[in-house]
């Protein structure tokens, strides 16, 4: 498979190893030695060939190192990179939700030359925007796990509010990732995700982080009805933010593909696929019907990502 990027490797933990509370993530952000050079990471082999191919395309590698430290470094690096090419001429951010997500993770946005406004090629936007999306996806998983396991309603509310911040920033990442014209997409991006450059059916459904995110959304959806009514507003906001992510994705798909087929589904229009999958995501946050056992669908059939 041809790797689309010459960027340095982005190290992330396997998503199933992510911590279950936000304090661990924020403690990692506060470590004074975090920016010191780290020893060589040991790459973990990936059992699923599709997940391995997906990571290879975006130069992502999985490591057995401390998951929270890996994620904080990934968030810090990808946020700084993407912010640099998503600024207005006056220096303000085109997507301020990125800074809100940074604060939710315990990060202080970088200042200085690394934050100056830069230009980016189509390839750089596609790769770096996705890498930010992956890091935000992992942060959302941690926030949802925090909400699920917190011993108090206030703790669960913090998890849900943080998840909403990370998801809003994910919608921002989608818009930034695709901030180029349709011709550039068809000339540069889409061919790189199709044979012979990539395996047939290449899709965001192949993302290990996406798979675990969908599982986490379902777990919260099944647990939510038994939780305090105090959490209902935060739960509704989470559903609304998921819809915002969907709208951002549909907007990109409509501009690039229109009524054309998705890479994954063949002849089926990409926007139609997204509408169906969005409904499944919202259903994942609804309570299981009375009298029926709660069953989880295969996470690989629910796409939150940007591949058409």
**What domains are there in the chain, each with its CATH number?**
10-301 (1.20.58)
Of 12, 26, 18, the C-alpha closest to 108 is 26
Per mean pLDDT, which range of 56-60, 138-142, 155-159, 201-205 is the poorest? 201-205
| Higher pLDDT among residues 268 and 221, named by residue | 221
Mean pLDDT of 171-176: 93
Predicted local confidence at residue 144, as pLDDT: 98
The helix or strand, by DSSP H or E, that contains position 10, with its residue range, turns out to be: strand 10-12
CA distance 285 to 50: 27
For the chain, first and last CA: distance in Å? 18
Give DSSP secondary structure letters for 88-149: -TTS-BS-THHHHHHHHTTPPPP-SGGGS-----HHHHHHHHHHHHHHHHHHHHHHHHHHHH
Q: Where is pLDDT greater, at 42 or 285?
A: 42
Q: What are residue 11's DSSP bridge partners?
A: 61
Q: Which two tokens stand for residue 114?
A: 């690394």
Rg of the chain in Å (alpha carbons): 19
* 3-state SS class at 92: coil
DSSP one-letter code for 33: T
Strand partners, 87: 93
Please give the share of the chain, as a percent, with pLDDT higher than 90: 56
| 49-58 average pLDDT score | 95
Can you name the residues that pair with 62 across neighbouring β-strands? 12
Residue 203 has phi, psi (to 5 degrees) of -160, 155
More confident residue, 287 or 85: 85
Residue 266's pLDDT is: 54
**Could you tell me how many helices (H) and strands (E) the chain has, helices first?**
11, 2
Cα separation, 263 vs 269, whole angstroms: 10
pLDDT at 302 over 90: no
| pLDDT band at 107; cut points 50, 70, 90 | very high
Which has more confidence, 116 or 173? 173
Please tell me the least confidently modeled range out of 128-142, 187-201, 208-222, 262-276: 262-276
CA 49 to chain CA centroid, Å, is 20
Instruction: Dig out the tokens for 307 from the structure.
Output: 């591949």
Report for 46-50, 162-166, 221-225, 262-266: range of highest mean pLDDT: 162-166
Q: How much is the mean pLDDT over the chain?
A: 84
CA 118 to each of CA 16, 94, 165, 286: distance values in angstroms, whole numbers, following the listed order: 35, 13, 25, 42
Distance CA 10, CA 109 (A): 19
SS3 20: coil
* Best CA proximity match to 163, nearest among 96, 235, 218, 225: 235
- The pTM is what? 0.86
pLDDT at 201: 86
Cβ 83 vs Cβ 92: under 8 Å: no
């Amino acid at each position: 498979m041809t790797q689309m990027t010459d960027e340095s490797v982005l190290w992330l933990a396997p998503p199933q190893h992510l911590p279950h509370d936000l304090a661990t993530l924020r403690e990692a952000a506060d470590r004074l030695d975090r920016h010191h050079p780290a020893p060589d990471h040991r790459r973990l082999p990936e059992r699923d060939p599709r997940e391995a191919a997906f990571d290879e395309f975006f130069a992502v590698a999985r490591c057995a190192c401390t998951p929270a430290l890996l994620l904080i470094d990934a968030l810090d690096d990808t946020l700084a990179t993407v912010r640099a090419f998503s600024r207005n001429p006056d220096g303000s951010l085109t997507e301020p939700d990125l800074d809100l997500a940074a604060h939710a993770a315990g990060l202080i946005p970088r200042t200085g030359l690394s934050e100056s406004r830069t230009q980016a090629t189509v390839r750089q936007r596609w790769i770096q925007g996705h890498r930010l999306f992956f890091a935000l996806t992992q942060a959302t998983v941690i926030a949802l796990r925090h909400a699920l396991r917190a011993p108090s309603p206030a703790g669960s509310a913090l998890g849900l509010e943080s998840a909403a911040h990370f998801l809003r920033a994910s919608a921002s990442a989608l818009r930034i990732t695709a901030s180029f014209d349709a011709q550039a997409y068809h000339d540069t991006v889409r061919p790189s995700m199709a044979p012979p450059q990539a395996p047939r059916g290449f899709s965001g459904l192949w993302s290990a982080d996406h798979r675990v995110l969908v599982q986490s959304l379902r777990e919260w959806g099944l647990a939510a009805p038994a939780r305090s009514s105090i959490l209902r507003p935060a739960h509704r906001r989470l559903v609304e933010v998921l819809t915002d992510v969907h709208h951002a994705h549909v907007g990109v798909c409509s501009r690039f593909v229109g009524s054309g087929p998705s890479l994954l589904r063949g002849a089926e229009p990409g926007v139609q696929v997204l509408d169906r999958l969005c409904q499944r995501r919202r259903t994942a946050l609804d309570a299981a019907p009375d009298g029926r056992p709660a069953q989880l669908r295969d996470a690989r059939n629910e796409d939150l990502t940007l591949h058409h």
